[in-house]
């Protein structure tokens, strides 16, 4: 069967390969570079849903492909749900400095010695355009923020996130193990269940 083409509005190679692994051979997933989109898409929504929709609609409107886009936030209970929608640019800058983001997060939790009180969750919202309509899929994973970064796999805040029921951070897991429980994995599996019968 010819694989179905889907554009995923991201320049993040880690995310592209995660999505390709989860969606499997039935889908050919193209990133922004693959369709010649080098624009900086301004994500100025107030929620994860708004930001995901902004990216998906941008590609749909300018490039004509139906498109999926995700937006992820790390919500830390002791910080009132921050960084939340500010997760990418928590420490300022252009959102690519994961080391600075993790350093700030660990500093802001410095006074909390009790692991139970370092509870947090990753939440992903995937938006997918269907012509003028848009559909959303959500996924989350509960866990805790480690006292120091551990591991070298993955990206972003993976070295400081320990999912519930595990001793290791996301960055100490291989990609399959992370995908099987992650926020994005859970959201993509819902998307896949929706797409499969189409």
Cα 35 to Cα 12, 39, 45, 64, 123, distances in angstroms: 14, 11, 24, 10, 27
To ligand IMP, the closest distance from the beta carbon of 22 in angstroms equals 12
Q: Which of 61, 71, 97, 114 is labelled catalytic?
A: 71
Question: What torsion do the CA atoms of 179, 183, 189, 192 make, to the nearest 10 degrees?
Answer: -110
Q: Is 71 noted as a catalytic residue in this protein?
A: yes
Bridge partners, 68 (sequence order): 8, 128
The residue (of 40 and 113) whose beta carbon lies closer to ligand IMP is 40
Of the candidate residues 76, 91, 118, 158, the single one contacting ligand IMP (CB under 6 A): 158
The residue (of 3 and 34) whose beta carbon lies closer to ligand IMP is 34
- Rounded Cα distance between 120 and 142, Å, is 6
The residue (of 14 and 132) whose beta carbon lies closer to ligand IMP is 14
Residues 6+ positions from 178 with CB-CB distance below 8 Å: 18, 153, 154, 158, 170, 185
190: annotated binding-site residue?
Answer: no
The 167-196 site mask, x for binding ligand IMP (CB under 6 A), equals: ---x-----------x-x------------
H-run or E-run covering 142: strand 133-145
184: annotated binding-site residue?
Answer: yes
Which tokens is 130 given?
Answer: 């269907």
To ligand IMP, the closest distance from the beta carbon of 162 in angstroms equals 12
Our finding on whether 71 is near ligand IMP (CB under 6 A) is: yes
- Give the binding site for ligand IMP (CB under 6 A): 70-72, 87-88, 95, 98, 101, 154-158, 170, 182, 184
């Amino acid at each position: 069967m010819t694989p179905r083409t889907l554009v995923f509005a991201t320049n993040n190679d880690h995310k592209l390969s995660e999505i390709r692994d989860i969606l499997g051979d039935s889908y050919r997933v193209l990133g922004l570079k693959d369709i010649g989109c080098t624009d900086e898409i301004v994500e100025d929504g107030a929620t994860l849903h708004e930001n995901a929709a902004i990216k998906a609609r941008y590609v749909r409107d300018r490039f004509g492909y139906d498109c999926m886009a995700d937006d992820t936030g790390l919500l830390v209970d002791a910080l009132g749900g921050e960084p939340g929608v500010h997760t990418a640019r928590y420490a300022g800058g252009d959102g690519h400095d994961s080391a600075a983001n993790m350093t700030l997060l660990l500093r802001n939790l410095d006074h909390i010695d009790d692991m139970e009180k370092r509870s947090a969750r990753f939440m992903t919202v995937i938006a997918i355009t269907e012509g003028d309509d848009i559909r959303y899929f959500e996924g989350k994973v509960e866990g805790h923020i480690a006292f120091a970064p551990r591991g070298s796999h993955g990206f972003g805040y993976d070295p400081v996130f320990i999912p519930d029921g595990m001793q290791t951070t996301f960055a100490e897991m291989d990609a399959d193990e992370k995908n099987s429980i992650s926020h994005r994995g859970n959201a993509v599996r819902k998307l896949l269940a929706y797409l499969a019968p189409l």
